[in-house]
Structure 1
C-alpha cells in the first residue's frame, strides 16, 4: 500500500543558539510533531553573520540529536571532554540520555554552512541512560546508486536497490529510525519499502517532488507528513529534487518539554531544571 501525502508543514524562518538563522518545520509548535520526531531544523547560508555565533554550551536531557552537515565545518565539545569535528557529509548521532552539556561552534569564518539538526525522542525507559554520541564520517555512509542517475545516502536503516541491501551505520535503536538523503534528477522516481506502522515524513530541500499515487506535490522548504503504508514513491519535478526521508517507530508516551529537556511529566522537567542548576544534570 502506497503512502500518501497527509499534511504539509512549511518551514518557518527563525533563529536558535547565538543567533544562528534556521528554518524549522517539525517542532515549530508542540502540535507540529510526528512521534517519535520532535524537531527538524535546516541551516543554509553563505553569510557568516547567519551562523558565526554557533551554539554555545547548552544542556539536553531525554532525547537524541542528529546533526547532518552538507557543507561547512562545526566543532562539537561536551562536558565529558569529548571533541568531534563535523565536516561536509558527516553525521553526529548524539544520545543525551540523562544529560549532556555541549556546544557546536563553526570552524570557518566564511563560506557556506549547510545542514540539518533533527531531534528524536527516547522512550521513558531510555531517557535517563548515560549520554553517548557517535561521529560518523561521510566515508562510512553508504550510497545507493539508482539506475535513473539518482542516489540515496543511507544514514539510518536500510535501502534495497536492484536486489542489493545497503545498511546505514545507525541500526538497532528502539525507535527503528530510517534516515535517507534522496537525490533525484528531473522526472526520476525512487520507490522503496517502508514498513507499515512506522511514522514517516519527507523534507524537500532542493527542487520539488510528488509523493504517492495519485501524486501530490511537495515544494522546497516543506515537510510532507505521510499516511501509513508499506511503500513510498517519490518523483522529482522538472528541476530534479533532493529530500530527506525520515521514519521511525512511534513511542506513544506523554511528552513534557521545556526547551532542551524532553521528558514524560512536568515533575521530571522540574527535576531536570533543578539538576542543571545544581550541576548534577549529567551525573
Structure 2
C-alpha cells in the first residue's frame, strides 16, 4: 500500500451565489484539471436565515452532474422536467443536467434557523454531455453507515466502501463520496482507488492528514498528550486537502475528533469550455448552449 501525499491544504473562500446566498467555496472556476472529474465544491452553512433564504432561483445547467448533500435544514427544489420535492437533513440528490435543465433550489432553515449542506459539481464526458437529464433523490435512511470498534463512522453517500454500497448509481464520474467521523486521538487509514483523483474536506473538528514525504501525525499525538503543538499543522473547519497518487489516506484526529468528506473520482481528461452553470468541451458548444438559452431551444424534448 502507498500513502497519498498531501499536495495542497487550503481554506474555503467566502463568496455569494444565487440571489444572495452566503457560502464558502473550496474550489471552482479555476483550473478544471486540478481535481478532474470534479469542477466545484461549495459549503453552504449559515446561522442566519437572511444569509440563505433568497436561495438559488431558476437557472440552467448543461454538461455536468451535481450532488447536493444536506446536513441540517431543508432544500426545496423544482425543475423543468416537472419534478418537485424537498431534501431534509441527511438526504442527498444527484442531478444529471445532461443536455439541459432549468431548476431552482431554495434552502430553508431548521427550527433554530440554521442551514448546512454541500454541493459538488462533476463533469460529464463528451459522449454524455447531451444525455437526458435526470434526478436521483435519496433519503437519509437509505444511506448505509459503517461503525468501527474504535468509534469511527463512515456514511457511504455514493460508491462502494468496506462492503457497503451507496444508493446512487449510474454516475459518469464513478465517484466515491464518504462522510467520515474519526473520534479524538484515533489514527485511521482509508483505502482510495489508485486511479482516482481524491480530496478531503474538513467541516468539524480537526486533525492531521499524514504526508507520504513528511508524516505529521506525531504532532497530534503530542497534542493529545497535552504537549504544545503548532495549530497550523492541523486541518480544521472548512479546509480542503488535495491528495496526490497512492492507494490510501491516513488521518489522525485531534482532541475534538474530526469529521470530513473523502471524495474521489475517475478523471475524464478532456478539454473543458466553462462559463457559469454550463460546462462543454469547446467554445463553439458553449456558445451554442447560450444561444439556445436565448432563443428558447435549450430544453430538449424527451426521447
Q: Does 1:111 align with 2:120?
A: no
Structure 2: distance between partners of 1:117 and 1:89: 13
Number of equivalenced pairs: 279
Larger radius of gyration: 2
**TM-score, normalised by the number of residues in structure 2:** 0.88
Any idea what the Cα deviations from partners look like across 1:222-246, whole Å, max 9, x if unmatched? 1100011111222211111110101
CA 1:189–1:157 in 2, change beyond 3 Å: closer, same or farther? farther
Partner residue in 2 for 1:198: 196
SS at match of 1:280: coil
- Superposed displacement of residue 249, structure 1: 0.3
Deviations 1:174-223, CA, capped at 9 Å, x for gaps: 32201000012111233222111100000001111211351364222111
Other structure's SS at 1:268 match: helix
SS of 1:219's equivalent in the other structure is coil
Task: Tell whether the 8 Å contact from 2:75 to 2:107 is kept in structure 1 after alignment.
Answer: yes
Report the TM-score when normalising by structure 1. 0.94
Q: Deviations over 1:48-72 (max 9, x none)?
A: 1110100000000000011000000
Structure 2 partner of 1:232: 249
Query: How far apart, CA to CA, are the structure 2 residues paired with 1:108 and 1:226?
Result: 34
Q: Does 1:83 align with 2:97?
A: no
In structure 2, relative to structure 1, the CA distance for the partners of 1:181 and 1:55 (3 Å cut) is: same
Name the stretch that deviates more: 183-192 or 81-90: 183-192
The match for 2:271 is 254
Rounded Cα–Cα distance in structure 2 between residues aligned with 1:37 and 1:131: 18
CA contact (8 A) 1:9 1:32 kept: no
* Structure 2 alignment gaps of length 5 or more: 217-232
Aligned-pair Cα RMSD in Å = 1.6
Q: Distance in 2 between matches of 1:19 and 1:210?
A: 34
Number of the residue aligned with 1:208: 206
Contact 1:63 1:127 in 2 (8 A): yes
